[in-house]
Amino acid sequence: MGTNRLLTQPRLLFGKGGAIGVEESAGLVRISLQGKRLRSRGVVIRMQQALVDEFVELVSIDAESGDEGEIAAAVAGKLRVIGLEVEIDAAGNVIGRAGEGEPVILCAHLDRVKPGKGIRPVVEDGVIRSSGDTILAADDVAGIVAILAGLRRAKEALGALPAVEAIFTVGEETHLAGSRRLDYGAVRGKMAYVFDASRPVGVVVTSSPTHVGITARVMGQAAHAAVNPQDGVSAIQAAARGIVRLPFGWVDDHTTANVGMISGGTATNVVCDDVLMRAEVRSLDHDRAVALAEHFANVISLEAATVGARANVTTEVEYRGYRIPSDEPVVRRVVRAIEAMGLEATIESSMGGSDGNIFNANGIASVVLGIGCEAVHSTRERIAISQLEAAARLAQSLLVTA
C-alpha cells in the first residue's frame, strides 16, 4: 500500500528549493509554490486522503504497550519502501536511516495506552475520533503518519532522501522503556524532533520536568482491632499522618506532587500492619525535584515513627528534565521550518515526560512538537485532519529546511 501512495504523491507541488506556502480557510487547504497559487485542489485532497488512510490503517493495528510487534513490522516495511535502511533493535524499536552527513532525528512512539485494542476510527466533519469505547491512538500514530508522509514528500521535493534517522520507539507510555534501551552509540544524529505533544502544530516544547518516583512501605503491628487493639500499630494511621503533611498538586509554578496509589489492610477487625504507597514529584528544576522527593521520604518516615511504625522509602529519578534555550540550533531549525509553512512557532514548557527526556539525557538535543491531537489518553481523543496534514508538512519542512 505504501508503494501506491508513493506513486500518487504529486510531483508538481515540490520544485527544488521552492517555498511551499499553505493557507486554510473554511476547511479548504490551498497550497502555493513561491507565492504562486496552485489550484490543483484534487491533488491536495488526494494527499490528505492518503494521510487519513494511513492513519486509519495504523490505528487499526492493535499496539498497546508491550504489544508493538505488528505495528513495528508495518512501519519498518513502509520505511523500506520509502528507501530507508531499517533495523529493529533488541527492544523492538524501529530505526530507519538514509542520506549522508549528520542526520536529523525524527521520532514518534509505536505504543499506545489502554483501552487501545480494536480501535474503530470515525472520520467525520474533518475530524478523526474513536468510536467512543477506545482511545483513538492519535497519540502517537499521528506522529508516525506525519513522519512517514514527511519522508515521502521530502524525497519528492529534493529528489533523494536527506540525512535522516527516523526512530520509532516501543514502550513510551510505560516509563519510556524503548528509548531507554536504544543503542546511543549507534545513533548518529545530534538533534531530535519528537512528534508527540498533544498541542496544535506550531507548538515547540523546549522544557520538561525531572520526574522522581517515590515508593513507601509503612509497616506496623497486626492485632485484633477489638480484642487487643493496644497491641497493634496501625500502618494506615501511620501512613495517613505522613500524607496529610505532604504537598499535593502545584507546589510552585514549575513543581507538582502527588500521592497517587495507596493500598493495605485485610479486614476491619484487623489492625493493618502493612501499607504500600506510591507518589511522584516533578519539577522543571531538577534539584528541586530531588529535594522535594527527599522531603517526602523524611516526612513519611518521621510521622510513621511517631506512632511506632517503620517506613521503608525509596526514591528514584524516573527521568531527568531539560530546558533548551530558544537560541539553540535544535530550536532555531524547527522555528524556521514552522515559519516556512506560514505558521507561527510557539515555545512552551510541559510537565509531561517523553522520549525527548531520554534523548536529552543521552546528549541528543531534543524538543517535542505539537501534532494536533486532543484529549489524549481518553476515549474522547480526536484529531482534526487539517492538523494531521500540518504535522506532515512540518516533518517535510524540517527535512528540507537546513
* Residues making contact with Zn ion (CB under 5 A): 139-140, 196
Phi/psi zone of residue 156: left (φ > 0), alpha (ψ -120 to 50 degrees), beta? alpha
Q: How far is the CB of 196 from Zn ion (least distance, A)?
A: 4
Query: In angstroms, rounded to a whole number, what is the distance separating the alpha carbons of residues 3 and 99?
Result: 20
Task: Tell me how far, at minimum, the Cβ of 335 lies from Zn ion, in Å.
Answer: 22
Q: How far is the CB of 198 from Zn ion (least distance, A)?
A: 8
Name the minimum Å distance from CB 9 to Zn ion. 27
Q: Give whichever of 196 and 389 is closer to Zn ion, judged by the CB atom.
A: 196
Phi-psi region at 122: left, alpha or beta (left = phi > 0; alpha = psi -120 to 50): beta
Minimum CB distance to Zn ion smaller for 54 or for 139 = 139
Task: Give the span between the Cα atoms of 320 and 287, in whole angstroms.
Answer: 10
Distance CA 371, CA 123 (A): 18
Distance of CA 281 to the CA centre of its chain: 19
Q: Given the complex with Zn ion, which of 278 and 377 has the nearer CB atom? A: 377
C-beta of 381: minimal distance to Zn ion in Å? 11
Tell me which residue of 182, 206, 138, 212 sits closest to 349, measured CA to CA.
Answer: 206
Q: 135 vs 154, which CB is nearer to Zn ion?
A: 135
User: Which residue lies nearer to Zn ion by CB, 171 or 220?
Assistant: 171
- Which of 266, 265, 358, 276 shows the shortest CA–CA distance to 318? 358
Cell output for 163 = 540525512
For residue 209, which phi and psi values (nearest 5 degrees)?
-80, 160
For residues 195-228, b (16+ Cβ closer than 10 Å) or e, as one string? bbbbbbbbbbbbbbbbbbbbebbbbbebbeeeee
Tell me how far, at minimum, the Cβ of 309 lies from Zn ion, in Å.
39
